[in-house]
Structure formats: C-alpha cells, structure tokens
Amino acid sequence: MITNHGVVTTPAFFPVGTQGTVKSITPEELMEVGVEGILGNTYHLYLKPGHETIGRLGGLHRFIHWERPILTDSGGYQIFSLAKLRKITEEGVTFQSHIDGSEHFLTPEKVMEIQRTLGSDIAMVLDECVPYPSSHEYAQASSRLTTRWAERCLHAKKDGDPALFGIVQGGMYRDLREESARDLTRLDFQGYAIGGLSVGEPKPMMQDVLEWTAPILPDSKPRYLMGVGTPEDILHAVMHGVDLFDCVLPTRNARNGMLFTSKGKISIKQAQYAEDPRPVDENCLCYACRYYSRAYLRHLYLANEILSSRLNTIHNIYYYIDWMKRIRAAIQEGKLIQFYQAQQAKFNQSEDEGFALSEPTPA
Amino acid sequence: MITNHGVVTTPAFFPVGTQGTVKSITPEELMEVGVEGILGNTYHLYLKPGHETIGRLGGLHRFIHWERPILTDSGGYQIFSLAKLRKITEEGVTFQSHIDGSEHFLTPEKVMEIQRTLGSDIAMVLDECVPYPSSHEYAQASSRLTTRWAERCLHAKKDGDPALFGIVQGGMYRDLREESARDLTRLDFQGYAIGGLSVGEPKPMMQDVLEWTAPILPDSKPRYLMGVGTPEDILHAVMHGVDLFDCVLPTRNARNGMLFTSKGKISIKQAQYAEDPRPVDENCLCYACRYYSRAYLRHLYLANEILSSRLNTIHNIYYYIDWMKRIRAAIQEGKLIQFYQAQQAKFNQSEDEGFALSEPTPA
C-alpha cells in the first residue's frame, strides 16, 4: 500500500496514537519494533489541541515527529461512543465535547477539511458506528446515511488530499452489509473499511459479518477492518482478505499489565512472577525482553511506575508486528491455512491460567 | 571518584531512581544524556520489592539494567519523612510502612546488610534527618546518635561491601555541625555527606550551614550534599568544595511541566506556548529539544500523556548534566568565580515570568 509517507507492507497493523502519541512511546521506538504506520483520532485532535493549531505547526507528522504513514479516522466512532448529547441530521452531527461540554457540529465536508489540515495520509469518511444491538430498521437508515455522507466526502475531496476510504456499515445484518458494500463500491474510494464491528457483539457474529462483507469488496483496493482486534481476530480476518488493522488492544492491555507471549497471555502482576528472572517471552527480541525480567516488570507495575507502561507497550506492539510478519510469511509460502490451524490450539491457552483478555472498549 | 561500577567525574549530579527506575526513563536514555550514576532509595526498595528479592535476582544493577554506579541512601530520610509511628532507640528505629502499615525495625547493621544485598556502590550510614526547626538540645542528641550509628555501620562493614559514607547532621547549629564533622572524620569513612539540608529552612541558612560544614571535611575524600538542589544551589555548594549531589528536582519538576532552560525556567502548560514552534531551549541538544516543539510538549502535558513526563524528564536531566559539565569546565579553566558571577543575573529570571520553581518536597 503506497502512501504519501511511504509504503506499507500488508496485511499490516497500525497502533493507535489517540492524542498525537502512541501512549508512552516515541516514534523511534515504534520504528525499532517495525511499525509502518499509526492511527490518529480526528475527534481527539480536533478538540485538543485543535486541527488548525496542528496545521499551523506544519501538520500532524511534523507536530508529533513521525515520518511514516498516518491514517486518521473521521471522528465518527468517538462522537458515537464518547461525546454527549448527539443529534444526527442529514446535514451532519451535533455533539458536546466529552472534555468541556462545548457544542460542535461536524459534517462530511468538515471532517474532510480537518483530515486535510492534519495532513493525514489516509482519511476516513464520516460514518455512524451503529451500536449493538440495533434494529434492522435503524441499522438500514443509518448505513444509508453513512453512504450518503461518504459520497459527500468524495465530492469534497480536493487535489492533494489524503487517500479516502469508504466505510461499510449495516449492523449485524447481512442484507444491509451487502447493500452498503455495493453502494460504496460504486463510488471511487481508494480503499474500503469494515466498520461497526467489535462493538460488543458475540465473536461468531463478528466473524459472520466479516465473512459476508470482506469478499465483496474490490480485490484491487485495500480492505481495512477498523478497531479489531486480538491476534486471532486478525488472523481470521486476513484469511478472508483483510489488509489493514488498528486496535488499542496491545497498547491498552500493556498499560494494564496484560502481555502477549508465544505461549499465551500473561498478567504480569501475578505473584508467581515475583522472583521470575526470565523475560516475558523467551522467544521475543524486543527491548523489554532483551534486558528485563518478569520480576522487574511486575515490580514496576505494582509500584505504578511509568516505565512499566513503556516496557509493556514496547513488548505488546512488538508482538503484534511480529505476528503480522509471521502471517505475511505464511502467505508468501502459500501456507496460511496450515499456519491458522497450527495456531488454533494456542489461542485458547493462557500461560498463567485463569486470565482472559478483555475485549477492547471504546477509545 | 572510582567505584565498583566505573569512574564518576566530579562534581557530579546523580538523578534519583526511587523505586528502581529514574521515573519514566530507561538506562539507555540516562546514558545518552551523560548520567554517570544514580541514587536508589533503600527505604522504598526494602519495602517493595524487598532487598532479598533483588539480591536473589542478582542485585540492583542487574535487576534494573544499569551498569554504572549506584549510590543508596540508608532509608533514614524516608523513615523520618514518609513512614508512620516512628520510635527511635539507641538500638535503631521502629516504623510503620507508608504502604501497608506493616511494622519494621531497622538498625545500623541492618541497613548495611540491605545495601550489601542490593549491591550498591556507595552506601550511606543510618542517620536521623533532623527536622527544621529543631531545638539545639534535640539536634545535639540526634546528631550524636547519628554518629554512634555511623560508627556501628563502619564496624558492620565487611570485605567487598560498598564504599561507606558518613553523614554530618546537627540541624542548623554551627557548633553541632562542627562537632558532627569532627567526630565523623575521626572515623575512616570513604566519603562524607552533609545531610539535613533542604528540609524547609530559609536558603541563606542552608548556605550558612554548608559554608560551615563543607570546608572542615577532608579534602582527600568525596563530599556529598544530600538532596540538594537547584542549579544555583549546586553551583554555590561546588564553590565550597562539594563533589556530589542528588535531587528529585529535575525529574519531579519535569513531571509537573516545569522545565529548565538557558534563559530561565518555564512552565510548559502556559497558553503562550500553544502554537510555539520552538524547542524548549534553542541552545539545548537533548532528544526533546531536537525533535519537539513547545506546542507539542504543552499539548502532551495538558492531555496527560505519559510521553510528556518522558520528554520533560530527558530535557531536565540533560540540563542538570550539562550544568555540571559547565561547572567542571569552569573549574578546569580556573574561572569558577567568574562563572558564578556571570550566572547570578540569570538565576533570578524566569523566561515566562510569574513562575517560581517550588522547593523539593520529601521523596
């Protein structure tokens, strides 16, 4: 995937940099673990410090010292999950800031302007992320509005603007997903996202929606599964043709002391690690695993030290990036199905037992 | 100053790594800014994760991945500032942990054992840090007890133990400081610390005590001013012969958004920096100043981002280390007094006005 700030090897995973930083780590550390792009949240940056401030300071890349691709969401997801007193009309959406209660009005044209001003490489259309559960009637009206907004975004696109991706919505209904995908693919977006998943629905339902939707999106354009997910979710989606992912899971879990390892997931605060001299994962080459013991990471976590978040975040992002590399290698060798089967057993085990990773909650 | 983990160029400043980490930054980052040694707090490490745990994991250097010198305090300062229900006897001090209220009994011999187990390079004797203000009677009894405890520490010293420094106490009384220094220098410590300063006394009083005490300590051994202070405090003390410093000021102020610059101190949260594209200090070569604007640092601070603490900490430690380099250069050129006079004007100015650095509070 070629962008204004370089090439991304797909399938790819972009860590989330909500407020102009992937929480706790630097761009150099992201590059060291092999991150090829990050996601910025338009909603957050629009409210603080403001897209115009970032624009006057030379754009988001310069502001945050990141030279590689940035994908920005449209703010839709946060408007519908974080903001207060939302009111949706054909024209756009009015909401109150979750920070200070100030009132804002965003339209498809406005989110294009914001993402242009930020200097994003990949912009997303304004969409409504339909909550789960929603009635067929609501999901249909909403996904049709999202499609009309998508068309307005496309019309608002100017020369030199970021690449623009449409977003398939439609709740958990197959007919609506198909309608949304059909209507959007008639428009000339540079990529297509699958939105509205990982919003609380059962995992088999998420897999069904993905399996209905991904295959009917154009082969020739990137497919992006928004806000998903666990390593196994990602592998499943890649098998159905998804090219791009973002998720807060590795970074948020890191700050909560939950670490991914080649032998399952561990919660570093557990007493069993109090004097464990081993690295988190003996098969891992990340900075945290090269130099620090589980005992030290447990101590930092219990002592509420900032370095805990840093080391855990580096480790978890490294794990995700390495996971994507392994998936790409399996694809190149034509052995993706065998890789998937070999991993199945591991997905259900947790090295320290009795510990389940929580699902991502709204950012 | 030659230690078991390398040479320290004096006068030197050691950042404080309270709980086995200089808050928010890595050993590599400390080395990059030129830090030659750090301080670890025996009180904190004894309580969490416990010195025996650290000992079983190969000692503090290995535990925290730091190959250079570590100085450990004796815990005295924290027992008298943080812990609850202290009871002092000739034998030692009983206190309750500030974390869980558990009761502990520390003696001079015990703090030697703890610092030995941690694998410290420079250990401190158990002392009572006399509060300000204290009566002459109390300060005298206390400093004599500190001296008796110091002698017991020396007797408890074994082959292969850390270097051991005595601590001059005596409150703000000249006769007691002189008595303490005289009695301690009759014993064969490898260095001498001046304790009990920067505990709330007026600055001229601190300077008086320092000027009485430092010159009567042996020329041939390192003099260490504990827990002090601002750049100007350090320069003043160096002029009176002090070789070693530690203080939480650069790191704690960093986390509070207070930054040292060559033109005065600034509070990064101020509105005037909202769109300021300049680095914190245009004369600074630290990582934060090389790549980030004041506007970005202000945004990170206001957004409560972890990266704010990191970048600010790197900057402030860099400032302190650079300050020590400039002092050493002035000494080598035989121009320390001229350097001191040239700096006087700058000490009283603050680039953003109306902002005064707070004094360090107990760690």
Report which of A67, A21, A30 is spatially closest to residue A287, judged by C-alpha positions. Answer: A30
**A-B interface: how many C-beta pairs under 8 angstroms?**
99
- Is B26 close to A293, i.e. CB distance below 8 A? no
Using CA atoms of A304, A307, A309, A313 in order, give the dihedral in degrees to the nearest 10.
-160
- Is B306 close to A307, i.e. CB distance below 8 A? no
Using one digit for the tens of pLDDT, what is the confidence trace for A113-170?
A: 999 999 999 999 999 999 999 999 999 999 999 999 999 999 999 999 999 999 999 9
Q: What is the pLDDT of residue A141?
A: 98
Closest in A26, A293, A306 to B309, CB measured? A306
Confidence of residue A358 (pLDDT cuts 50, 70, 90): very low
Closest in A21, A292, A296 to B305, CB measured? A21
Residue carrying the six token digits 């994962």? A281
Considering only alpha carbons, which residue of chain A is nearest residue B291?
Answer: A65
- Is A307 close to B19, i.e. CB distance below 8 A? no
The pair of structure tokens assigned to B82 is 């943080």
- A-chain CB neighbours of B58 within 8 Å are 277
Q: What is the pLDDT of residue B361?
A: 38
Closest in A23, A64, A291 to B306, CB measured? A23
Q: Tell me: pLDDT of A355 over 80.
A: no
Q: What is the pLDDT of residue A280?
A: 98
Interface probe with A: pick from B62, B296, B311, B314, most Cβ of A within 10 Å: B296
CB-hemisphere CA count at 13 Å for B79? 26
- Concatenate the DSSP letters of all residues of A221-265 into one string: S-EEETT---HHHHHHHHHTT--EEEESHHHHHHHTTEEEETTEE
Q: Answer whether A320's CB lies under 8 Å from A259's CB.
A: no
Mean pLDDT of chain A: 94
In angstroms, the CA B193 to CA B175 distance is 17
Q: Calculate how close chain B gets to A225, using CA atoms only, in Å.
A: 27
Q: Calculate how close chain B gets to A24, using CA atoms only, in Å.
A: 5
Using one digit for the tens of pLDDT, what is the confidence trace for A14-66?
A: 999 999 999 999 999 999 999 999 999 999 999 999 999 999 999 999 999 99
B→A interface, C-beta within 8 Å: 19-21, 23-26, 48-49, 53, 56-58, 63-65, 274-275, 277, 291-293, 295-296, 298-300, 302-303, 305-307, 309-310
Q: Tell me: pLDDT of A362 over 50.
A: no
Q: Tell me: pLDDT of A252 over 60.
A: yes
Q: What is the pLDDT of residue A64?
A: 98
Q: What is the pLDDT of residue B360?
A: 36
Catalytic status, residue A208: no
Closest in B19, B293, B303 to A19, CB measured? B303
Q: What residues of chain B score a pLDDT lower than 50?
A: 353-363
Q: What is the pLDDT of residue B85?
A: 81
- Is B64 close to A296, i.e. CB distance below 8 A? yes
- Is A300 close to B48, i.e. CB distance below 8 A? no
Q: Tell me: pLDDT of A240 over 70.
A: yes
Q: What is the pLDDT of residue B274?
A: 98
* Distances, alpha carbon A349 to alpha carbons A341, A345, A356, in Å: 15, 7, 9
- Is B307 close to A56, i.e. CB distance below 8 A? no
Catalytic status, residue A73: yes
Rounded to 5 degrees, φ, ψ at A288 are -65, -40
Can you tell me the ipTM of this complex?
0.95
Q: What is the pLDDT of residue B82?
A: 87
Q: What is the pLDDT of residue B242?
A: 98
Considering only alpha carbons, which residue of chain B is nearest residue A299?
Answer: B49
Q: What is the mean pLDDT of residues A290-315?
A: 98
Using one digit for the tens of pLDDT, what is the confidence trace for A177-223?
A: 999 999 999 999 999 999 999 999 999 999 999 999 999 999 999 99
Confidence of residue A353 (pLDDT cuts 50, 70, 90): very low
Q: Tell me: pLDDT of A359 over 60.
A: no
Interface probe with B: pick from A24, A65, A268, A306, most Cβ of B within 10 Å: A306
- B-chain CB neighbours of A298 within 8 Å are 49
